[in-house]
Amino acid sequence: MAQPCIGIDFGTTNSSAAAAEADDVRVLELDAANDNPTSLPSLLYITAEGQAVAGREAADTYIARNVGREVELKQVDLGLDIEGYVGGEPDKSEGYRPPGDPSAAVREAVRAKATVEVNSPGRLFQSLKSSLRLKGFKGTDVFGRHYQIEELTALLLRAIKERIDAHTGADVETAVFGRPVRFSERPEEDALAERRLETAAELAGFKNVVFFYEPVAACVEYAIAMDRRQRLMVVDIGGGTCDVCVMEFGGAAGAAERLAESRILGVAGVPVAGDAIDREILRAKLFPYFGSRSRYGPSKLPMPQYVYAALADWQNLYKLNTEEIMNWLIASEMSSDQPETIRRLRTLIRKNYGYPLARKVEQAKKTLSFEERARIELEEEGLDLHVELERPEFAHIIEHTLDEMRHSIEEAEKAAEMRPEDIDLVLTTGGTSLIPAVRKMLEDRYGSERLLQRDTFVSVASGLAVVAQYM
Ligand SMILES: Nc1ncnc2c1ncn2[C@@H]1O[C@H](COP(=O)(O)OP(=O)(O)OP(=O)(O)O)[C@@H](O)[C@H]1O
Ligand SMILES: [Mg+2]
């Protein structure tokens, strides 16, 4: 049976896939449990028994099983269980090591002692795509089994592949994968991320993987239908990256010719998007509710930064749940000038409310795309959190993030040797492009009549499928 032409957009927050056949591009349903079934939330839950759950079900399972329950952490001395060395040289090897490879037994020195959750039913992973570029993050232990970052990513990609296979009735081995213009601003990190994604795709069963820029894919469908030559800019702002691409497209006789004759004139990108905006909201609006501005002890000391760094990254918040830190929090609460905030912080950590909080923040941000104000509320016992955020304040909070995005846009123009007035049309896509302050930044530069919003969540996957067809 002929293999269908498949495009896969493995996103930081959402993943989607499409199949192209003749003139038809079909976006595939990847997650029946999700509000939008053509998007699979890029979430992975691994149970203590080693079972992997992907998508909306991963989030639901985590909330049902892990949230509201007290985590018990234990420091275990891995001592002699470690193969290789204990506390010696850090592991400088790079890349995925297949199980069985003797060098795969070499572990990082930190494993000599590990903090493990003794009673946890499972772990949730979010934004794995953003970790692909981090050289220092090779993987993590999940209930005694070490998962390399490639394996974690492969678990998600395998779930995607199973659903693609089911829809197409084929064992799909060839696919065009999207990639951001820049996984990272550092070339070596960028190359590492692509290599890891390729390995993950292979582990998931894809034998032939081709990468294609996500923002270029986002404009393919529009551009191949165009009978006159145009200079397009695509701005794709998702969960992890802001990607900008200036292209020259269209005018030739048929779709294949238009694609073949297209030219990329300039690209730019930064790993700053929706996740970074969520963190800004947390920092500005919620940290104070958890004592970031409080003082404790006779010398009126400020609270240590590491606590709030962990709060900004809920996936690691559980690590604060040690007896030592909990006792210290109880002590600092007694001498705090804002004891109620420290108590709240302790409840948040102890009861594992980091993820529900992150979800509320994200939801409030989305609400602000359609309404003037939003509330962030968590009524769980001991938290009682009610925070209001209005659009102007939100725009102010994310000013710095917007500057970084604007900078990328200017950089892409510069690379293409163009001024804003030389660009015929600016196509926007990705969830973060819906934020009014982001739209205003683009309108100020190009005028609203030159902005065209493409399908927010599936334009990249559809374009990749079209590309697969002509490759
Ligand atoms: N209505 C909305 N208003 C503001 N932000 C939104 C809205 N809907 C979704 N988002 C945000 O958009 C991001 C997800 O967008 P998208 O699905 O395009 O990203 P992605 O493709 O997964 O990420 P990337 O392309 O960076 O890898 C998330 O940060 C999400 O919170
Ligand atoms: Mg995207």
> 328: CA distance to ligand 1 center in Å?
38
Does 238 contact ligand 1 (Cβ within 6 A)?
yes
Does 269 contact ligand 1 (Cβ within 6 A)?
no
> 104: CA distance to ligand 1 center in Å?
35
- Cβ burial of 328 (10 Å; 0-12, 13-18, 19+) is middle
Is residue 467 situated within a structural domain? Answer: no
Cα 112 to Cα 115: distance, rounded to the nearest angstrom: 10
Cα 380 to Cα 376: distance, rounded to the nearest angstrom: 13
Domain that residue 77 falls in: 10-209
Cα 201 to Cα 35: distance, rounded to the nearest angstrom: 26
CA angle 139, 145, 148 (to 5 degrees): 20
Largest CA distance in the chain: 78
Mutate to test the pocket of ligand 1, among 8, 10, 13 (most ligand atoms within 8 A of CB): 13
The pLDDT tens digits of the residues spanning 238-289 come to 999 999 999 998 778 888 888 888 899 999 999 999 999 999 999 999 999 9
Let me know whether 16 and 87 are in one domain.
yes
Q: Among 4-13, 21-30, 77-86, 167-176, which is the least confidently predicted range?
A: 77-86
Does 7 contact ligand 1 (Cβ within 6 A)?
no
Mutate to test the pocket of ligand 1, among 14, 44, 462 (most ligand atoms within 8 A of CB): 14
**How large is the average pLDDT for residues 107-128?**
70
User: Residue 433 CB: number of other CB atoms within 10 A?
Assistant: 24
- Cβ burial of 22 (10 Å; 0-12, 13-18, 19+) is exposed
pTM of the predicted protein model: 0.91
Let me know whether 425 and 405 are in one domain.
yes
The CATH number that applies at residue 24 is 3.30.420.40
- Secondary structure (3-state) at 19: strand
pLDDT at 364 over 70: yes
> 135: CA distance to ligand 2 center in Å?
22
Q: Which residue has the higher pLDDT, 39 or 23?
A: 39
pLDDT at 132 over 70: yes
> 286: CA distance to ligand 1 center in Å?
21
Question: DSSP of 95-146, one letter per residue?
Answer: S---TT-GGGG---GGGGEEEEESS--EEEE--HHHHTT-TT--EEEETTEE
Write down the mean pLDDT value for the chain: 90
Does 434 contact ligand 1 (Cβ within 6 A)?
yes
Is residue 421 situated within a structural domain? Answer: yes
Sign of the dihedral through C-alpha 344, 350, 354, 356: negative
Can you read off the two tokens belonging to residue 124?
A: 């949730």
> 297: CA distance to ligand 1 center in Å?
42
How many angstroms from the chain centroid is the CA of residue 229?
Answer: 35
Which of 100, 412, 20 lies closest to 233 in space, CA to CA?
A: 412
Please report which confidence band the pLDDT of residue 107 belongs to, taking 50, 70 and 90 as the band edges: very low
Cα 233 to Cα 230: distance, rounded to the nearest angstrom: 10
> 142: CA distance to ligand 1 center in Å?
28
Helices and strands per DSSP (H, E), number in the chain = 15, 22
Let me know whether 286 and 393 are in one domain.
yes
CA distances in angstroms from 469 to 7, 154, 166, listed in the order given: 9, 24, 20
Ligand 2 ion: residues within 5 Å (CB): 11, 238
Q: Looking at residue 100, what is its pLDDT? A: 59
In the chain, the N- to C-terminal Cα span, in Å, equals 19
Q: State the total domains in the chain.
A: 3
Q: Which amino acid, one-letter code, is at 204?
A: A
Let me know whether 329 and 198 are in one domain.
no
Percent helix / strand / coil, the chain, rounded to 5:
45, 25, 35
Which of 137, 125, 148 lies closest to 53 in space, CA to CA?
A: 125
Can you read off the two tokens belonging to residue 238?
A: 């998702």
Q: Give the nearest ligand 1 atom to 130 CA.
A: 27
The pLDDT tens digits of the residues spanning 310-341 come to 999 888 888 898 889 999 999 999 999 999 99
Q: Which residue has the higher pLDDT, 183 or 115?
A: 183
Cα 52 to Cα 73: distance, rounded to the nearest angstrom: 22
Q: Which ligand is the nearest neighbour of the Cα of 460?
A: 2
Q: Looking at residue 94, what is its pLDDT? A: 63
Does 250 contact ligand 1 (Cβ within 6 A)?
no
- Secondary structure (3-state) at 331: helix
Please report which confidence band the pLDDT of residue 101 belongs to, taking 50, 70 and 90 as the band edges: low
Q: Which ligand is the nearest neighbour of the Cα of 391?
A: 1
Let me know whether 348 and 257 are in one domain.
no
Let me know whether 190 and 72 are in one domain.
yes
Is residue 179 situated within a structural domain? Answer: yes
pLDDT at 457 over 80: yes
Is residue 406 situated within a structural domain? Answer: yes
Let me know whether 372 and 441 are in one domain.
no
Can you read off the two tokens belonging to residue 341?
A: 């905030």
pLDDT at 108 over 90: no
Cα 215 to Cα 459: distance, rounded to the nearest angstrom: 9
Is residue 61 situated within a structural domain? Answer: yes
Q: Looking at residue 76, what is its pLDDT? A: 63
pLDDT at 41 over 50: yes
Does 11 contact ligand 1 (Cβ within 6 A)?
yes
Residue ID of nearest Cα to ligand 1 atom 17: 14
Is residue 457 situated within a structural domain? Answer: no
Let me know whether 159 and 236 are in one domain.
no
Does 280 contact ligand 1 (Cβ within 6 A)?
no
Is residue 324 situated within a structural domain? Answer: yes
Let me know whether 303 and 386 are in one domain.
yes
Mutate to test the pocket of ligand 1, among 8, 12, 36, 56 (most ligand atoms within 8 A of CB): 12
Which of 282, 274, 277 lies closest to 358 in space, CA to CA?
A: 282
Is residue 183 situated within a structural domain? Answer: yes
Domain end call among 397, 414, 442: 397
Let me know whether 146 and 293 are in one domain.
no
Let me know whether 295 and 367 are in one domain.
yes
Does 433 contact ligand 1 (Cβ within 6 A)?
no
**How large is the average pLDDT for residues 138-150?**
92
Cβ atoms of residues 265 and 248 within 8 Å: yes
Let me know whether 47 and 163 are in one domain.
yes
Beta-bridge partners for 267: 245
Does 274 contact ligand 1 (Cβ within 6 A)?
yes
